């Protein structure tokens, strides 16, 4: 993995968040408090503006810097969760290196593990983890089987989509929608949606290369 | 949306600046990261710090001053503040007796304060407020939300801290007050987050949201609008049921504090009407309302609606509620 790619991915993520304003806003109005898009936009824009600061850093240093920046920019639950993801991913990369798909998958899994710990949440709680846990598992599995990167990306886009859709019929037991009880059923979780969009954007970037 | 706005991105700083100017005898504003401290730093006491999303004014900055908070960290509207704000605030106000964070139990607030607590280089503890009995508690959920009862927790902890009490004693009192407090809210309208520009939820003239939080997130149930006494009756029942489920059985003429809190767009006239009925109904449950607070103390921007909070008093809580306080939003005895 190259820092150049991290910067390209950050720009792609910003683009997809901005392009999905109305989707994210309406999902959060239905079962949240209407601030998810605003927070994601603030985070994505801040990272996109870090280009020149990041360019000279090693990939793990760049990811760590992104995490630190998100921690002081986003706020809410998304802030500490996404920050923990990038900071932990950076830590695993620093320790293990980044020269294979498997090593990158392991770093991704480390990031997801940090979200699980920080959020004290798991699968089927109607959160971003319903996207991230399946994607992380699939990523590690495919990388272990030595699949090529394009196949991995195409599969992960699908896995993320399935995970995002799976939140629709769940009762929320974590996050802001947890106060709604059964009323949350029938609504896709906004955090799961934004994670799916970000994963899709990064995977598409690789597929188009 | 019809609001006093110059630029949505500047609302928060403009509002905080106005607050600091209006109360320059009490508070000092620090920007980037944003936090407010007492104008005169207190010494020889546990530093009491709270914070949360903006839009709940006067919570929390309105409670900075003698007898309550040492600092407050305002986040963006309805969005938790970030750890750097808490770290800088703690750095500014700590007086070598530790730092106590008072945090409303919302996932974002909990995580950001938790990260701040982990990074803080000195002794600290956290009191989580979770007075909202509209949310059913279980091992599997995020749990009850912290709402207007937070004001009572901040007042009592603040009072004890002024006496020079130790960190753990302040935490213990805060936990006790929280455990003896229950709230429930009803919304008549939604609210409009300035940056979103439109109401968070749609609700008709004939509907109410029962069990609503303080962010315009939907409540437990959508119900039909009814005469006030019927709505208040359901709220009082929910609180009594909650106390019983927590094994708090008010004994004969148990003294309590009744807080009727407006969400921002309900006039005091209606809040006092609510108080009138609620006090009467609690009386029928052997609860004597000996202390009261009625007004806009934990708001949800421009939402119409109100919450009812009951705190079962004991001698210690009564003493700390009655003690002198001098803040922008609460002031008595000094």
User: What average pLDDT does range B105-113 have in this prediction?
Assistant: 93
Chain B residues at the A interface, defined by Cβ less than 8 Å, are: 33, 53, 75-84, 106-108, 111-112, 114-115, 132, 134-136, 138, 140-142, 145, 193, 195-196, 200-201, 211, 213, 215-221
B184 pLDDT higher than 80: yes
Burial of residue A124 (number of CB atoms within 10 Å: 0-12, 13-18, 19+): middle
B175 and B227 inside one domain: no
B165 pLDDT higher than 80: yes
Q: What is the mean pLDDT of chain A?
A: 95
Distance from CA of A84 to the nearest CA of B (A): 10
Give tens-digit pLDDT for A35-61: 899 999 999 999 999 999 999 999 999
B46 and B139 inside one domain: yes
A157 pLDDT higher than 90: yes
pLDDT band at B324 (very low <50, low <70, confident <90, very high): very high
The domain that holds B185 is classified in CATH as 3.30.1180.20
Calpha distance A131→A149 (Å, rounded)? 19
B251 and B142 inside one domain: no
Give tens-digit pLDDT for B45-82: 999 999 999 999 999 999 999 999 999 999 999 999 99
B25 and B172 inside one domain: yes
What's the total number of domains in chain B?
2
Shortest CB distance from B115 goes to which of A25, A80, A183?
A80
Distance from CA of B213 to the nearest CA of A (A): 8
Q: Which of B179, B209, B236 is the last residue of a domain?
A: B179
Give tens-digit pLDDT for A68-79: 999 999 988 999
Write down the ipTM of this complex: 0.83
User: Hey, of A32, A178, A180, which one would you mutate to test binding to chain B, going by the most B CBs within 10 A of its CB?
Assistant: A178
Contacts of A177 in chain B (CB under 8 A): 217
pLDDT of residue B139: 44
The domain that holds B99 is classified in CATH as 3.40.50.10440
Q: What percent of chain B has pLDDT over 70?
A: 98
pLDDT of residue B142: 61
B153 and B221 inside one domain: no
Residue with tokens 């912290």: B146
Q: Which residue has the higher pLDDT, B144 or A110?
A: A110
Cβ–Cβ of B76/A177 closer than 8 Å? no
B334 domain-assigned: no
A182 pLDDT higher than 90: no
Cβ–Cβ of A77/B136 closer than 8 Å? no
pLDDT band at B138 (very low <50, low <70, confident <90, very high): very low
pLDDT of residue B150: 98
B59 domain-assigned: yes
B140 pLDDT higher than 50: no
Domain limits for position B37: 9-179
B170 and B295 inside one domain: no
Cβ–Cβ of B111/A33 closer than 8 Å? no
pLDDT of residue B58: 98
B210 and B230 inside one domain: yes
User: What average pLDDT does range A191-197 have in this prediction?
Assistant: 97
3-state class (DSSP) for residue A46? helix
Cβ–Cβ of A38/B75 closer than 8 Å? no
pLDDT of residue A86: 98
B219 and B147 inside one domain: no
Distance from CA of A79 to the nearest CA of B (A): 8
Q: What amino acid positions of B are annotated as catalytic residues?
A: 56, 215
pLDDT of residue B136: 64
A96 φψ region: left (φ > 0), alpha (ψ -120 to 50), beta (else):
alpha
pLDDT band at B143 (very low <50, low <70, confident <90, very high): confident
Q: Which residue has the higher pLDDT, A188 or B249?
A: A188
Cβ–Cβ of B134/A78 closer than 8 Å? no
Calpha distance B13→B20 (Å, rounded)? 10
**Nearest Cα residue in chain B from A180:** B220
B328 domain-assigned: no
Q: What is the mean pLDDT of chain B?
A: 94
pLDDT of residue B218: 73
pLDDT of residue A81: 96
- Nearest partner of B171 among B183, B161, B163, judged by Cα: B161
Cβ–Cβ of A71/B106 closer than 8 Å? no
Distance from CA of B87 to the nearest CA of A (A): 11
B119 and B214 inside one domain: no
- CA dist B186 → B209, B264, B299 (Å): 6, 12, 12
pLDDT band at B311 (very low <50, low <70, confident <90, very high): very high
B147 domain-assigned: yes
Q: Which residue has the higher pLDDT, B24 or B200?
A: B24
B54 and B114 inside one domain: yes
Contacts of B77 in chain A (CB under 8 A): 35
pLDDT band at A1 (very low <50, low <70, confident <90, very high): confident
Give tens-digit pLDDT for B282-310: 999 999 999 999 999 999 999 999 999 99
B317 pLDDT higher than 70: yes
Pairing state of beta strands B71-77 and B47-54?
A: parallel
The three-state (H, E, C) secondary structure of B85-138, written as one string: HHHHHHHHHCCCCCEEEEEECCHHHHHHHHHHHHHCCCCEEEEEECCECCCCCC
pLDDT band at A178 (very low <50, low <70, confident <90, very high): confident
On whether the CB atoms of residues B298 and B280 are closer than 8 A, the answer is: no
Give tens-digit pLDDT for A76-105: 899 999 999 999 999 999 999 999 999 999
Contacts of B132 in chain A (CB under 8 A): 179
Calpha distance B302→B275 (Å, rounded)? 21
B86 domain-assigned: yes
pLDDT of residue A176: 72
Contacts of B238 in chain A (CB under 8 A): none
User: What average pLDDT does range A150-166 have in this prediction?
Assistant: 98
User: What average pLDDT does range B137-166 have in this prediction?
Assistant: 87
Write the DSSP string, B37-52: EESS---SSPEEEEEE
Q: What percent of chain B has pLDDT over 90?
A: 87
Calpha distance B150→B190 (Å, rounded)? 22
- CA dist A151 → A138, B79, B261 (Å): 11, 38, 57
Q: Which of B179, B208, B234 is the last residue of a domain?
A: B179
Strand-pair partners of B201:
none
Domains for chain A: give ranges and CATH numbers: 3-207 (1.25.40.340)
Calpha distance B162→B108 (Å, rounded)? 29
Cβ–Cβ of A35/B217 closer than 8 Å? no
Give tens-digit pLDDT for A132-149: 999 999 999 999 999 999
Weakest-pLDDT range from B177-181, B252-256, B309-313: B252-256
Q: Which of B179, B207, B236 is the last residue of a domain?
A: B179
B113 and B224 inside one domain: no
B15 pLDDT higher than 60: yes
B19 domain-assigned: yes
B168 and B50 inside one domain: yes
Cβ–Cβ of A75/B193 closer than 8 Å? no
């Amino acid at each position: 993995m190259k820092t150049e790619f991290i910067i390209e991915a950050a720009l792609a993520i910003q683009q997809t968040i901005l392009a999905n304003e109305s989707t994210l806003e309406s999902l959060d109005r239905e079962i949240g408090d209407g601030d998810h898009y605003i927070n994601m936009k603030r985070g994505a824009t801040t990272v996109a503006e870090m280009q020149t600061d990041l360019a000279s850093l090693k990939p793990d240093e760049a990811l760590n810097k992104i995490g630190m920046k998100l921690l002081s920019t986003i706020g809410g639950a998304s802030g500490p969760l996404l920050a923990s993801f990038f900071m932990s991913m950076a830590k695993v990369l620093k320790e293990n290196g980044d020269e294979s798909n498997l090593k990158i998958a392991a770093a991704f899994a480390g990031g997801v593990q940090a979200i699980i710990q920080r959020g004290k949440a798991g699968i089927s709680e109607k959160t971003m983890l319903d996207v991230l846990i399946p994607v992380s598992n699939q990523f590690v599995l495919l990388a272990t089987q030595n699949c090529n990167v394009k196949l991995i990306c195409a599969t992960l886009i699908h896995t993320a989509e399935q995970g995002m859709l799976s939140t629709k019929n769940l009762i929320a037991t974590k996050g802001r929608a947890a106060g709604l009880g059964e009323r949350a059923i029938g609504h896709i979780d906004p955090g799961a949606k934004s994670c799916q969009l970000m994963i899709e954007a990064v995977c598409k970037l690789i597929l188009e290369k | 949306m019809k609001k006093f706005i110059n630029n949505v991105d500047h609302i928060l700083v403009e509002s905080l600046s106005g607050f600091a100017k209006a109360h320059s005898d009490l508070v000092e504003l620090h920007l980037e990261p944003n936090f407010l401290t007492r104008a005169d730093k207190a010494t020889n006491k546990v530093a009491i710090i709270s914070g949360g999303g903006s839009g709940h004014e006067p919570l929390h900055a309105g409670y900075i001053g003698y007898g309550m908070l040492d600092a407050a960290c305002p986040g963006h509207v309805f969005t938790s503040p970030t750890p750097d704000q808490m770290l800088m605030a703690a750095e500014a106000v700590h007086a070598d007796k530790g730092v106590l964070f008072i945090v409303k139990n919302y996932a974002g607030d909990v995580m950001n304060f938790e990260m701040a607590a982990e990074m803080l280089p000195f002794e600290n503890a956290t009191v989580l407020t979770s007075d909202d009995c509209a949310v059913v508690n279980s091992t599997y959920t995020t749990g009850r939300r912290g709402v207007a009862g937070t004001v009572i927790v901040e007042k009592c902890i603040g009072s004890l801290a002024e006496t020079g009490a130790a960190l753990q004693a302040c935490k213990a009192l805060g936990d006790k007050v929280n455990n003896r407090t229950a709230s429930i809210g009803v919304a008549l309208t939604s609210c409009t987050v300035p940056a979103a520009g439109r109401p968070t939820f749609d609700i008709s003239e004939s509907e109410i949201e029962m069990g609503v939080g303080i962010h315009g997130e939907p409540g437990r149930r959508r119900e039909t609008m009814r005469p006030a006494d019927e709505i208040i009756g359901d709220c009082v029942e929910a609180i009594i049921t909650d106390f019983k489920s927590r094994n708090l059985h008010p004994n004969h003429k148990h003294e309590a504090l009744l807080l009727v809190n407006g969400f921002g767009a309900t006039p005091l006239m209606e809040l006092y009407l609510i108080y009138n009925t609620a006090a009467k109904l609690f009386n029928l449950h052997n609860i004597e309302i000996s202390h009261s607070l009625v007004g806009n103390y934990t708001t949800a921007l421009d939402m119409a609606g109100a919450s009812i909070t009951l705190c079962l008093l004991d001698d210690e809580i009564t003493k700390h509620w009655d003690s002198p306080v001098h803040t922008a939003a609460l002031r008595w005895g000094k």
